[in-house]
Amino acid sequence: MRELVASLCSDECAGRAPGTPGGRLARQYVVEALRAAGLDPREQPIPAHGGANVLAALPGAIDRWVVIGAHYDHLGMQGKRIFRGADDNAAAVAILVEVAARLAAQRPDGRGVLIAAFDAEEPPWFVGSNMGSEYFAQHPPFPLDRVDMMVCMDLVGHAFGPEGISREVRDTVFALGAERSVGTGRIVSELARVESGLIVRRADAEIIPPLSDYHAFWRRELPFLFLTAGRSRVYHTPSDTPDLLAWDKMAATARWLERYVRDACARDAITFENRTDDASTLRGLVELTTALIPFTSQASIGLAQARSLLAACDAAGRLPAKRTGELQNLVAMLESGMA
């Protein structure tokens, strides 16, 4: 993973903006890495900006699919400053390739897996028709109704919170969207702590605006899971460099994702359900703020608020509409405090 991240963050890739020489070189690195992993990748050109998605299929016993995606583009250059995008999103691409290699070596039972390295996730293409994942959804390699699950990774390369605080906090990756998947939602909870060095915490997808490639699948009511550690202090700055990545956590994330995908591929049925589960978010916040009490005086305030909101949830795990803003503010404060 280190070699691929270093290549994607190199001077030659110059920030990996779509349609630039650096963007094309980055795409070449991704193609070569997938080939070395035992897959047969192909490019899906996006004419509007000269970028392209990189897709590699691992057919299964049935003609239904789990898509695993991460965007490989970044912000390019501003003047002489290179925005290298190690956490955003070279780390996730390296994890994607690692998982692809494991799945290619031993195919999952049941569904096939499509590996998707998307281009053009960053502005000015974000949530437009030429964003790589949206273009994929408009021009899928097979009917989109054969996709039973999409897993997206973005900002998964860093430890959650500053050095010196509890591993119970720093090892966290959030999994958004499990509540909207009938058939795979429980997997996240069952596997939350199976990998040393990683804690996967469920959170409702609506705690943040749609911020990555899962948006194209969510808006088409396809089950999805979004893995992220949130925005770090170097988000969208030239300081987002490989030396700040949490390599052991990335390795654990790859192992966890392989487990999750194998389980999802073998499930009998996976369907979309448009439901909200605020309680899952709040249970995670209670755990995190409890772990933070020895490190910050603000944690006790956050814990009290999280417990109050959790007690206000109904039997289905939903907050009253008038209190959802409190939850969003609490999540924003935690992300800001841990950046």
pTM of structure? 0.97
pLDDT at residue 336 is higher than 90: no
pLDDT of residue 30: 98
The mean pLDDT value for 73-99 works out to 98
DSSP strand pairing (77-78 vs 81-82): antiparallel
Q: What is the mean pLDDT of residues 66-94?
A: 98
What is the pLDDT, as a whole number, of residue 337? 86
Q: Which amino acid, one-letter code, is at 186?
A: R
Instruction: Say whether pLDDT at 12 is over 90.
Output: yes
Contacts of 305 (CB under 8 A, 6+ apart): 326, 330
∠ CA 137-225-107, rounded to 5° = 80
The per-residue pLDDT for 267 is 94
Q: For residue 18, what pLDDT is reported?
A: 98
How far apart are alpha carbons 124 and 144 in whole angstroms?
26
Residues in contact with 220: Cβ distance below 8 Å, sequence separation at least 6, in sequence order: 137, 144
Rounded CA-CA distance 188/184 in Å is 8
Q: Give the pLDDT band of residue 128 (cuts 50, 70, 90).
A: very high
Residue 57 buriedness (CB in 10 A; 0-12 / 13-18 / 19+): middle
Does the domain made of 2-272 have the CATH classification 3.40.630.10? yes
pLDDT (0 to 100) of residue 50? 97
The residue ranges of every structural domain in the chain are: 2-272, 278-338
Average pLDDT, the chain: 96
Alpha-carbon span 317 to 315, nearest angstrom: 5
